[in-house]
Structure 1
């Protein structure tokens, strides 16, 4: 695990004992900190009985505490923990801030931080893959993989690749990334920012503001111009210029099977620039782009039956995230719906010429059916099971059945992973399913 001697003897409260919370408590205790921990679920508290003070931070005097560590899932704009901690002058932080504090005691290393509304996970995994294929010690964490404090420190020369949500950045104050990447900013999670898009965008751009002179930042020109929160003396790269500057032609994307679609060309450009800054050669990068396996639930090709391709893009929980998948395929049988984050088709509308038929599911199914009716044939299926069954009967060889819901999953599933896993299971259960070519 990652710890810091700086935590020894200090007092922390940890609210929430899911994965990152558990790892945080273990790391703080190992470093000799005094820890008060709490979770509403008794089973989450059970492993720490006798190991730390189990009390709700909301119900205690926080005088003398050095920090309250909360999960990124805690909404700071509405949860009472923030005003309660403020009353005692105690900062509310996350595990990424603790990692930032621990960096001085780790072997010499670099950190790549990646944020953006869409594409974070793919780009983080891609940077990690390129580094790993080049023989660079690396790990990834943050909003992907294992909690960062649970991981073993990298040897000298290692690179930590962190996917960072705006919620994690809100809880971080001293993470000075050697390379910071902002992929894009489009409206999402605005409930956490009281409907204020500018506040959401400012949260994302704080990743740049925390950098020190001489470190590198990567962003699209339009975002860089509008956000304007780059640290003084940082070295900026414009995402749109990367491929031309690095000698990789856009046509080479045809050789990257898990990176199809215009959005993945942009994700790849960000990864190419980050790895070039870290000293990798163009040939090392080019080969790793070819071998990148992709991520589950992100334009994941899960099977082929009778010439019909089935693609799991369950991670697309808003229209901006679903639009790239629509742009990546032709003759699409689109499974769409769930708990909507926004009205209408949004950024998906320009790609309706690629949709042959749509199959709506979930709470937003009827609303999507009405919006889609002028563009294509629509079947109101209600459930994912019915949608897959009907689409498999209608789709013909050369066409694609695409689960890209453009909605959250919480109306019918625990999370987008469960939704994608269910889709994968349904596809594999289809009669005469064949393997991918």
Structure 2
């Protein structure tokens, strides 16, 4: 094997340039270099899409959205597996799909798809495509918010006319995509997930809060579109264990529940957890993606006290001071200690930072792991 700088290679005759989804096409010079030769830039999901014709007969479910896609992807995979069907989960979660063995005939590939991955995909025809929501995020990679929403919409543009589309319509951009799908003549294949649907979630311990009601509805609709028996759907919802760092119940110490929601890296993704618990000691902050916490406001009434950390500690303390008692703690260890000292039995200490982690941690997983270690030290 010979390694060369792709920016110096004559790409004449090449079929494509394959890049990681992490490569920022709006800034990286590979985009302009490939364009000079008329060569498409693709990713691993497109390679999978092109390989599908050679695989045993199967179906693909693709899930995208700003928030909730990991939980929904894992839930769909769990329900399909609960039904006894062969299943693989990949994409933006777990092992890359190309690193996994092919499924036997009748299998279902369940793929979490970020906008970055969709940008690098041209021919993925999902049997079931799911869009949960669209809120401002990753705007450093797109011209504007409309361009980010358009990237999500491409998942449906790649589908064959008879394939199922499931779209949450709580936000205007997602509702607009649902209208586009309906106007394209696919109204009979379209399922819309409306906001505010009341559901009995008492038997789903890992799916609490209104946002998880929406995630569950999307998963139920996807599994029904696949033909999963209702009994398997019910059993799957009841036995789903949840994902680390997403409203993960870490421990109970002295009657106080400690919840790790470190994956909540923007205000929109933190908002649901604030509405899922009654009396919250909220650890919030890090490297802010926005200058306000307005998306979290519906849950402010549930917060007994906030503890601000990271680069955003001062700004968030100032923002929240008129809304609730606030302690500026700066670091996670101080925040956990302060919250544990103030919380009373029946209350919840919630790490839901509404920020990226890179100011103090390698990533959100390292932040969540640190929180878990600190809580274990309280026992």
Give the shorter-chain TM-score range.
over 0.9
Alignment correspondent of 1:159: 108
Q: In 2, Cα distance between the equivalents of 1:193 and 1:416?
A: 23
Contact 1:333 1:359 in 2 (8 A): yes
- Call closer, same or farther: CA 1:224–1:401 in 2, change over 3 Å: closer
Q: Say whether 1:301 aligns with 2:249.
A: yes
Q: In 1, Cα distance between the equivalents of 2:352 and 2:5?
A: 40
Q: Say whether 1:119 aligns with 2:68.
A: yes
Would you identify which runs of 4 or more consecutive aligned residues in structure 1 move more than 3 Å?
221-225, 231-234
Pairing of 1:354-433 with structure 2 (within 5 A): 354-430=302-378, 433=379
Q: Say whether 1:150 aligns with 2:99.
A: yes
- Call closer, same or farther: CA 1:241–1:334 in 2, change over 3 Å: closer
- 275, 280, 285: which is aligned to 1:327? 275
**Deviation per residue, 1:299-334 (Å, 9 max, x gap):** 000001000000000000000000000010111000
Alignment correspondent of 2:181: 230
SS in 2 for 1:302: strand
Q: In 2, Cα distance between the equivalents of 1:416 and 1:307?
A: 26
Alignment correspondent of 2:4: 55
- Call closer, same or farther: CA 1:223–1:344 in 2, change over 3 Å: closer
Q: In 1, Cα distance between the equivalents of 2:147 and 2:275?
A: 29
SS in 2 for 1:258: coil
Q: In 1, Cα distance between the equivalents of 2:3 and 2:350?
A: 46
Contact 1:111 1:160 in 2 (8 A): yes
SS in 1 for 2:124: coil
Shift of residue 241, structure 1, vs aligned partner: 9.1
Alignment correspondent of 1:49: none
Q: Say whether 1:65 aligns with 2:19.
A: no
Alignment correspondent of 1:273: 221
Q: Say whether 1:239 aligns with 2:193.
A: yes
After TM superposition, the structure 1 stretch with the greater mean CA deviation from structure 2, 72-81 or 232-241, is 232-241
Alignment correspondent of 2:138: 189
Shift of residue 350, structure 1, vs aligned partner: 2.0
Q: In 1, Cα distance between the equivalents of 2:322 and 2:195?
A: 38
Which of the two has higher C-alpha Rg? 1
Alignment correspondent of 1:97: 46
Q: In 2, Cα distance between the equivalents of 1:63 and 1:290?
A: 54
SS in 1 for 2:141: helix
Q: In 1, Cα distance between the equivalents of 2:151 and 2:343?
A: 43
- Call closer, same or farther: CA 1:413–1:210 in 2, change over 3 Å: same
Alignment correspondent of 1:253: 201
Q: In 2, Cα distance between the equivalents of 1:115 and 1:229?
A: 17
Q: In 2, Cα distance between the equivalents of 1:341 and 1:224?
A: 21
Contact 1:212 1:233 in 2 (8 A): no
- Call closer, same or farther: CA 1:368–1:401 in 2, change over 3 Å: same
Shift of residue 281, structure 1, vs aligned partner: 2.0
How many residues align structurally? Answer: 373
Shift of residue 240, structure 1, vs aligned partner: 2.4
